[in-house]
């Protein structure tokens, strides 16, 4: 039998599959077959999820383990900020270490246990890096720009300004009004730029942010390979950097920013030395369920006989969110 964990960071929900515990790791094809089935909100396991976080032996020296990110549609992403916090907690408990590096596609990233965000709400800080602005990192075509930095792009939405940043997965960011944030214009643009389109051949995560105050945002994200999620860690991190770059009077480097989202709240700290940028993302790492399933079933993308057991942590997380300002203003579930 094999154990999976159902987890979330800011209610961005995942299954963690530690391939090192299997007799035979799932192949890439098997992972791509399993993801859409187990994450399906109607027919998936435990109400579905936004993807699978796959743990393997490290491929880079210095890392404790590797994390791969499989989106709900089976596509693979280079990074997942909310997911990395939950994998960091899983590895911290597995290896009894509180600070180490995790091997992600483009870099070993430093992760560190943090004080609980609230009673019963464990928290981790994770490095979001590498950060790139060029078209090699974030391929887009037919816009007549080498990069987007608070750029008017009438081809997307007339009147809105956009910034493009890869962290290293691709993000498009626009600072909008409360009305635009709640409107479905984000969903329409997200669907468009992740379908057949002349601009983003590989799709892109689209983030709308409302500026609440100095160093304080509300961010809503339409994710590549998933759709609307309750939060996107790399999205909130990229948006924090865009905030510091485009609104220097309101957003400061090396100072914690508070980022609200439909699933809760995280802190980000944007750092730079010359033109090298990186972001610290600090937030919850909640384990909601233990799942026991026959390994042979997983290879067949089946989980019909899975046994699930709630950890009880969700109650503490929901109390944490209930006490937050702003989050309940914009009730947008996944
Ligand atoms: N959908 C994203 C990957 C997951 C990122 C998100 N869940 C996060 O917390 O950063 C992409 O295809 O780039």
Q: Is 225 in the pocket of ligand 1 (CB under 6 A)?
A: yes
Q: Is 2 in the pocket of ligand 1 (CB under 6 A)?
A: no
The closest-lying atom of ligand 1 relative to the alpha carbon of residue 9 is 9
Same domain, 191 and 248: yes
- The label of the residue with tokens 């209610």 reads 11
Rg of the chain, C-alpha, whole Å: 19
Nearest to 264 by CA among 229, 311, 312: 229
Average per-residue pLDDT for the chain: 96
Contact, 296 vs 3, CB < 8 A? Answer: no
Q: Is 263 in the pocket of ligand 1 (CB under 6 A)?
A: no
Q: Does 137 map to a domain?
A: no
Same domain, 197 and 317: no
- The residue among 178 and 139 whose pLDDT is bigger is 178
Tell me the CA–centroid distance for residue 9 and ligand 1, in Å. Answer: 12
Same domain, 163 and 204: yes
Q: Is the pLDDT of residue 331 over 90?
A: no
Same domain, 209 and 115: no
User: Is-catalytic flag, 200?
Assistant: no
Binding-site annotation, residues for substrate: 12, 71, 81-82, 169, 205, 223-224, 233-234
pLDDT band (50, 70, 90) for residue 141: confident
Q: Does 332 map to a domain?
A: no
Per the residue annotation, which of 5, 232, 266, 281 is the catalytic one? 232
pLDDT band (50, 70, 90) for residue 142: confident
pLDDT value at position 259?
A: 98
Q: Is 205 in the pocket of ligand 1 (CB under 6 A)?
A: yes
| Range(s) of the domain holding residue 198 | 151-283
Same domain, 46 and 103: yes
Q: Is the pLDDT of residue 332 over 70?
A: no
Contact, 283 vs 82, CB < 8 A? Answer: yes
Same domain, 9 and 27: yes
Tell me the CA–centroid distance for residue 305 and ligand 1, in Å. Answer: 29
Report d(CA 137, CA 153) in Å as an integer: 19
Number of domains the chain contains:
2
Mean pLDDT of 117-129: 98
Q: Does 58 map to a domain?
A: yes
pLDDT value at position 257?
A: 98
pLDDT band (50, 70, 90) for residue 333: very low
Same domain, 10 and 98: yes
Same domain, 197 and 274: yes
pLDDT value at position 275?
A: 87
Same domain, 202 and 258: yes
Same domain, 165 and 278: yes
- Residue range 82-120, pLDDT digits in tens: 999 999 999 999 999 999 999 999 999 999 999 999 999
Mean pLDDT of 257-279: 96
Tell me the CA–centroid distance for residue 233 and ligand 1, in Å. Answer: 7
The closest-lying atom of ligand 1 relative to the alpha carbon of residue 237 is 10
The closest-lying atom of ligand 1 relative to the alpha carbon of residue 233 is 9
Q: Does 330 map to a domain?
A: no
- The label of the residue with tokens 């702003």 reads 326
- Residue range 179-230, pLDDT digits in tens: 999 999 999 999 999 999 999 999 999 999 999 999 999 999 999 999 999 9
Report d(CA 91, CA 126) in Å as an integer: 13
- How high is the ipTM of this complex? 0.98
Q: Does 133 map to a domain?
A: no
CA distances from residue 90 to 16, 68, 176 in whole angstroms, order as listed? 9, 14, 36
Q: Does 158 map to a domain?
A: yes
Same domain, 224 and 273: yes
Q: Is the pLDDT of residue 140 over 90?
A: no
pLDDT-above-90 percentage for the chain: 92
Task: Look up residue 328 and give its DSSP letter.
Answer: G
Q: Does 187 map to a domain?
A: yes
- Residue range 287-316, pLDDT digits in tens: 999 999 999 999 999 999 999 999 999 999
User: Is-catalytic flag, 232?
Assistant: yes
Q: Is 261 in the pocket of ligand 1 (CB under 6 A)?
A: no
Q: Is the pLDDT of residue 250 over 70?
A: yes
Identify the CATH number of the domain in which residue 7 sits.
Answer: 3.10.310.10
pLDDT value at position 328?
A: 65
Same domain, 275 and 294: no
- Report the nearest-CA residue for atom 5 of ligand 1: 80
């Amino acid at each position: 039998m094999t154990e999976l964990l159902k987890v979330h960071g800011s209610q961005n929900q995942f299954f963690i599959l530690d391939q090192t515990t299997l007799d035979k790791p799932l192949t890439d094809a098997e992972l791509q077959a399993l993801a859409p089935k187990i994450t399906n909100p109607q027919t998936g396991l435990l109400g579905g999820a936004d993807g699978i976080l796959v743990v393997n032996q490290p491929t880079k020296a210095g890392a404790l383990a590797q994390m791969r990110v499989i989106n709900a549609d089976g596509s693979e992403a280079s990074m997942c900020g909310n997911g990395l916090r939950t994998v960091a907690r899983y590895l911290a408990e597995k290896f009894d270490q509180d600070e180490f590096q995790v091997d992600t596609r483009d870099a070993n990233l430093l992760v560190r246990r943090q004080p609980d965000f609230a009673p019963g709400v464990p928290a981790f800080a994770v490095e979001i890096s590498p950060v790139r602005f060029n078209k090699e990192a974030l391929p887009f075509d037919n816009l007549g720009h080498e990069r987007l930095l608070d750029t008017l792009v009438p081809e997307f939405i007339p009147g809105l300004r956009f910034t493009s940043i890869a962290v290293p997965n691709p993000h498009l960011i626009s600072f909008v009004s409360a009305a635009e944030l709640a409107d479905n214009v984000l969903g329409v643009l997200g669907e468009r730029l992740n379908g057949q389109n002349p601009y983003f051949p590989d799709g892109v995560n689209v983030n709308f942010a409302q500026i609440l105050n100095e160093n304080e945002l509300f961010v809503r994200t339409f994710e590549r390979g998933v759709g609307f999620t309750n939060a996107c860690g790399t999205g909130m991190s990229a948006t924090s950097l865009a905030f510091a770059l485009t609104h220097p009077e309101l957003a400061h480097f090396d100072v914690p920013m508070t980022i609200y989202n439909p699933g809760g709240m995280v802190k980000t700290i944007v750092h730079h030395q010359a033109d090298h940028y990186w972001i610290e993302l600090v937030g919850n790492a909640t384990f909601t369920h233990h799942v026991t399933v026959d390994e042979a079933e997983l290879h067949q993308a089946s989980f019909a006989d899975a046994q699930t057991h709630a950890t009880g942590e969700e109650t503490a997380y929901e109390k944490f969110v209930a006490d937050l300002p702003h989050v309940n203003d914009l009730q947008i579930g996944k």
